[in-house]
Amino acid sequence: MAPLLQIDDLHVAVDGAEILRGVDLTVGSGEIHALMGPNGAGKSTLAAALMGHPAYRVTAGTIRFDGQDITDWPTDVRAKAGIFLAFQYPEAIEGVSVTQFLRQAMSARKGDDISVLEVRFAMNEWMERLGMDPAFGERHLNTGFSGGEKKRNEILQMALLEPRLAVLDETDSGLDIDALRVVGRGIHTVRESHPELAVLVVTHYQRILEDLLPDRVHLLFDGRVVETGGPELARRIEAGGYEEWRS
């Protein structure tokens, strides 16, 4: 049986500069993987390339999702197939409520027009499970949101869109310990209902991994995965930094 996500010898360039230099990575259904590495290693580049961002050009290698070669698929087709990206810095959209945004996103994901009533029912159920104020749905998307509220909103989106693979691009960025735990619990709550959901967490820090308990940890360095291990690899990085891989 093919893994859910298989990346083979992936090379990606941005503005003519090669950032990823041959990434190999495999994620199975229902697994949690962490991708760590220093600034400039290519972590966010990999996340963007997985989602098909047009500014990130694949120059070699392949991305396979559920056995299909999606290397040349556009972003909207990947999203409909079940790939979800939580942004490091989510965009604020004045004038568009969280409910309106989610109705459009859910309709696009499911290929069918979903009523406002259906969206609100699903939102209220999940906001209760995630410990969110129901009034949250009427606020304009990410406008005036705190860092923790933006991340909770992305977890809510993940719950409602029911992806098969969630890529969380530095979702712990700028969060304090309490907010990190809220995000970690939120991800676990979603996976309780969708145990087949695979998660790839892009992070600098081991803290969020204490809650998520990844199956595998990958170290991305200079555009390549240079080591893969269990949670102990994250602890090694946290304790000693990246010096042992610089030599």
Q: Where residue 64 sits, what CATH number does that domain have?
A: 3.40.50.300
Separation of alpha carbons 138 and 169, rounded Å: 26
Share of the chain above pLDDT 70, in %: 95
Report yes or no on 136 lying in a domain. no
Q: Is residue 241 part of a domain?
A: yes
Tokens standing for residue 39: 């600034």
- The domain tally of the chain equals 1
Rounded average pLDDT over 77-91: 85
58 and 48 in contact (C-beta within 8 Å)? no
Whole-number Å distance between alpha carbons of 245 and 236 = 12
Report how far residue 208's alpha carbon sits from residue 68's, in angstroms, rounded to the nearest whole number.
31
Check residues 177 and 102 and name the one with the higher pLDDT. Answer: 102
Residue 22: pLDDT over 70: yes
* pLDDT digits 0-9 by tens, 194-247: 999 999 999 877 777 877 889 999 999 999 999 999 999 988 888 888 888 886
Residue 135 maps to a domain:
no
More confident residue, 64 or 130: 64
| Tokens coding 165 | 């693979």
Tell me the per-residue pLDDT of 93-136, one tens digit each, with 9 for 90 and over: 788 788 888 888 888 888 778 888 888 899 888 888 888 888 88
- pLDDT given at position 52: 94
Q: Which residue has the higher pLDDT, 92 or 70?
A: 70
Q: What is the DSSP string of the chain?
A: ---SEEEEEEEEEETTEEEEEEEEEEE-TT-EEEEE--TTSSHHHHHHHHHT-TTEEEEEEEEEETTEE-TT--HHHHHHHTEEEE-SSPPPEEEEEHHHHHHHHHHHHHTS---HHHHHHHHHHHHHHTT--GGGGGSEETTT--HHHHHHHHHHHHHHH--SEEEEESTTTT--HHHHHHHHHHHHHHHHH-TT-EEEEE-S-SHHHHHH--SEEEEEETTEEEEEESHHHHHHHHHHTTHHHH-
Q: Give a yes or no: residue 81 inside a domain.
A: yes
In a domain, 20, yes or no: yes
Residues 50-60: tens digit of each pLDDT: 999 999 999 99
- d(CA 235, CA 230) in angstroms, rounded, equals 9
Q: Bigger pLDDT: 21 or 93? A: 21
Strand order through the sheet with 32-36: 83-86, 165-169, 198-202, 32-36, 216-221, 224-229
pLDDT band at 92 (very low <50, low <70, confident <90, very high): low
Task: Label residue 95 left, alpha or beta by phi (over 0 means left) and psi (-120 to 50 means alpha).
Answer: left
Mean pLDDT across the stretch 85-95?
A: 75
Q: What is the pLDDT of residue 222?
A: 92
Q: Does residue 211 belong to any structural domain of this protein?
A: yes
Q: Which of 40-44, 52-56, 134-138, 187-191 has the lowest mean pLDDT?
A: 134-138
Structural domain span for residue 12: 5-88+160-246
Does residue 181 form part of some domain? yes
SS3 for 231-247 is HHHHHHHHHHCCHHHHC
Is the residue at 107 inside a domain? Answer: no
- The whole-number average pLDDT for the span 72-95 is 85
Highest mean pLDDT among 80-94, 148-162, 170-184: 148-162
* pLDDT at site 229: 95
- In this predicted structure, the answer to whether residue 173 has a pLDDT above a threshold of 70 is no
